[in-house]
Structure 1
């Protein structure tokens, strides 16, 4: 408990973490590149970022973009925040909030790309609305994204991946979709720069294949 308390305290003091209680938390919508980051750059959002492996890893590789990792778990965000600070990265930050509240923090057309990395598959039918690729969330993503903005989705769950694929084909106008049920055996692997999350490592060690898709809304 003491360890978590210290981490939460550091989050409150860290410039690269935005959470309830900080002045910008209520006013940041539409102002990420003027109120939070130092440079006005394309904004990339990772949902369910966990320890921030993707957000930090991408920020290391793409200094010409700003990255925001979103998660509700403060102790996980702390890990990403501290790593970013240790690396001296100023183009990555973290937002602590529930993802179902995400439209409170990003203006329409403010985001250039969205990453959804290993979300809870929510396999029960009654939990469909809580899946991060359900219509409820996809509609929010579409509103947040700039015209021709990308959505990237990675999961170990075949049922969630198939659900998402079917939903996009049946209910949405999309373009430029590419997907694979086995990322490591696909040419699309080159787009991931060797970045792996904690859960990705766990799943691959168990023999699970990693599913991946990218697409843009029309």
Structure 2
């Protein structure tokens, strides 16, 4: 497919088969972006609408969208390339392997946007806000770094909020069960993922949670 062929040559796509894929951990600033700006990562970025939107808005930060689907990443990669947005890149990998690509303290902010809720109790460990994943994110995020979580799923939101509130190593900074009726909505500059727009248009309330790991 043309999309996969373009991913092979697009410098803003980091994936298996490229030398940079094996060497990027700890070197995103000097190797990929060639600057010292803060690194912001979006998990399950899909077509990259949010990653690219943030990149447009904040040229003094670097943004990395993470997803395993090459056809989705191609879209965001192509838009960024066409618009000359050089502070955006995409990493094609499974999220459970994230710690293979980011060194300790390399991430300034982390976005978890509309992940699969995995509602069955037996699938808890697959949720991107489960203890397993939180423990993986913690060392990669620099001291004071913010984690943002958005979802339309009430069950996942309540699970995530209860979990982070129960952890002594996490400070909850803000949360709302109706983001677009909250005072925080302007902070996101109207940037929406494909799924967020879909859910919002159907009248679904968007839930939002912001927290950080405490400095030990």
Normalization by structure 1: what TM-score? 0.96
Distance 1:48 1:91 in 2: 18
Match of 1:195 in 2: 191
Match of 2:65 in 1: 69
Q: Paired residue for 1:47, among 43, 46, 60?
A: 43
1:17 and 2:39 are equivalent in the alignment: no
1:146 and 2:142 are equivalent in the alignment: yes
Give 3-state SS (helix, strand or coil) of 1:136's partner.
helix
Match of 2:103 in 1: 107
How far the C-alpha of 1:176 sits from its partner, in A, is 4.9
Preserved CA contact (<8 Å) 2:103 2:140: yes
Deviations 1:98-129 (A, max 9, x none): 00000000001110000000000000111100
1:97 and 2:93 are equivalent in the alignment: yes
Structure 1 runs not aligned, ≥5 long: none
Structure 2 runs not aligned, ≥5 long: none
Q: Paired residue for 2:179, among 157, 161, 183?
A: 183
Deviations 1:46-80 (A, max 9, x none): 00000111110001011110110000000000000
Deviations 1:112-149 (A, max 9, x none): 00000000000011110000000111111111100000
Match of 2:206 in 1: 210
Distance 2:200 2:65 in 1: 23
Q: 1:178 to 1:85 in 2, by over 3 A?
A: same
Distance 2:138 2:146 in 1: 10
Match of 1:119 in 2: 115
Normalization by structure 2: what TM-score? 0.97
Match of 2:53 in 1: 57
Match of 1:155 in 2: 151
Preserved CA contact (<8 Å) 1:172 1:217: no
Please tell me the root mean square deviation across aligned C-alpha atoms, in Å: 0.8
Preserved CA contact (<8 Å) 2:165 2:171: no
